[in-house]
Amino acid sequence: MVSPPNVSTNVRRYWWLFLIRGLLGLALGVVALPYPGATLAGAVILIGAYLFVDGIVAVAKAIQILRSDKHWWVLLLEGILGIAAGVVIFFWPGISLLSLALLVGYWAIISGVFSIASAFRLRTHVPGEWLYMLFAVVSIVFGILVIAAPAIGLVYIALMIAIYGFVIGVTMIALAFQARKQPI
């Protein structure tokens, strides 16, 4: 009987999933930064697409580590939350800025909490797990800022989203290359 691969093997094997999440974050930042005055509809589509695709990537990764990591469900919940938030945004594009800000803020906080759990698990398998912890902390801080001031306007939300995208993109890409270096 062949035993399933361990967490370290899966982190190394699926390093590219961290890279995809990082590239998605950078894409979010690149698109959001030069157009801070974009219409609410544009921001809704951008945020919804990011949350949906990031959720799919997280669910795919959770399914891939199902047999080797007993905490796979944390990543699955994070992914399902992202997909659900993206679907809500797409089906109700006319939601107010306040509702959108609160939805994104709560998603970022919950996603950050799940990422902290993942970072603690990775600390024995990947050097540089602090990058994943940084991702988690940035996500939580971003969520708190959005919830604290939801009515500040689209320009501020777009700027925060751009900064969030850049920071998350860089940290996830760095984590991907750390994971890629791991011996199998």
pLDDT reported for residue 55? 93
pLDDT reported for residue 59? 93
Contacts of 99 by beta carbon, 8 Å cutoff, 6+ apart? none
pTM of structure: 0.50
Tens digit of pLDDT for each residue in 123-170?
777 677 777 788 889 889 988 988 887 766 456 667 777 888 888 889
Q: Average of pLDDT values for 45-49?
A: 81
44 φψ region: left (φ > 0), alpha (ψ -120 to 50), beta (else): alpha
Other CB atoms within 10 A of residue 39 CB:
10
Alpha carbon 5 to chain centroid distance? 25
Q: Average of pLDDT values for 3-29?
A: 80
**Distance between CA 91 and CA 166 in Å, rounded?**
27
Q: Given pLDDT bands bounded at 50, 70 and 90, which one contains residue 5? A: low
Q: Given pLDDT bands bounded at 50, 70 and 90, which one contains residue 53? A: very high
**Distance between CA 176 and CA 184 in Å, rounded?**
15
pLDDT reported for residue 80? 94
- Higher pLDDT among residues 63 and 104, named by residue: 63
